[in-house]
Amino acid sequence: MATFPTPAQGVAAALDIRKVIDELNRRDSRDDLFLKVGLHSGPCLAVLMNERQDYFGQTVNVASRLQTIATPDMIFATTPVVEDEEARTLLAALGRSLHGTTAFLRGLSGEIPVYGIPA
């Protein structure tokens, strides 16, 4: 898990990390190193425990649940992420299209809209 000041910074980091992993796999002629990414934006509780900062709350839970349903070739994001103007501009500049669907996430009632971002 990681936190970012803005949704766009989270999207950029996810895409950069996926690019590096793809390059490592190509360089080493392998395909077993992969990353599943879920992105959500919202408020959370930041707590300093044992000289480490940690985050808690529903925002963190949603991001974690998205990560569990993400695939190695598709980053999953929620509406607050993809509706962020800076994130939309970044995705458009990179030519990344969004693939909308809905999903049931453990701990949430009903389906929620989720968006796949090709990695």
User: What's the maximum distance between 2 C-alpha atoms anywhere in the chain?
Assistant: 43
Neighbours of 62 (CB within 10 A): 22
Please provide the average confidence, as pLDDT, over all residues in the chain.
93
For residue 31, what pLDDT is reported? Answer: 85
> Does residue 1 form part of some domain?
no
* 55 strand-pairing partners: 46
Q: Which domain holds residue 94?
A: 7-118
Number of structural domains in the chain: 1
Q: Which helix (H) or strand (E) holds 64?
A: helix 58-69
**Tell me, what's the pLDDT at 4?**
94
Global confidence as pTM: 0.89
Give tens-digit pLDDT for 48-84.
989 999 999 999 999 999 999 999 899 999 999 999 9
Q: Which CATH number fits the domain that encloses residue 64?
A: 3.30.70.1230
Does 43 reside within a domain? yes
- Of residues 107 and 14, more confidently modeled: 14
What's the confidence (pLDDT) of residue 32?
87
Report yes or no on 49 lying in a domain.
yes
Instruction: State the DSSP string of 10-53.
Output: HHHHHHHHHHHHHHHHHHTT--------EE--S--EEEEETTEE
In a domain, 2, yes or no: no
Instruction: Tell me the residue type at 92.
Output: A
pLDDT-based confidence at residue 1 (cuts at 50, 70, 90): confident
Element (H, E) at 99: strand 99-104
* 108 within a domain of the structure (yes/no): yes
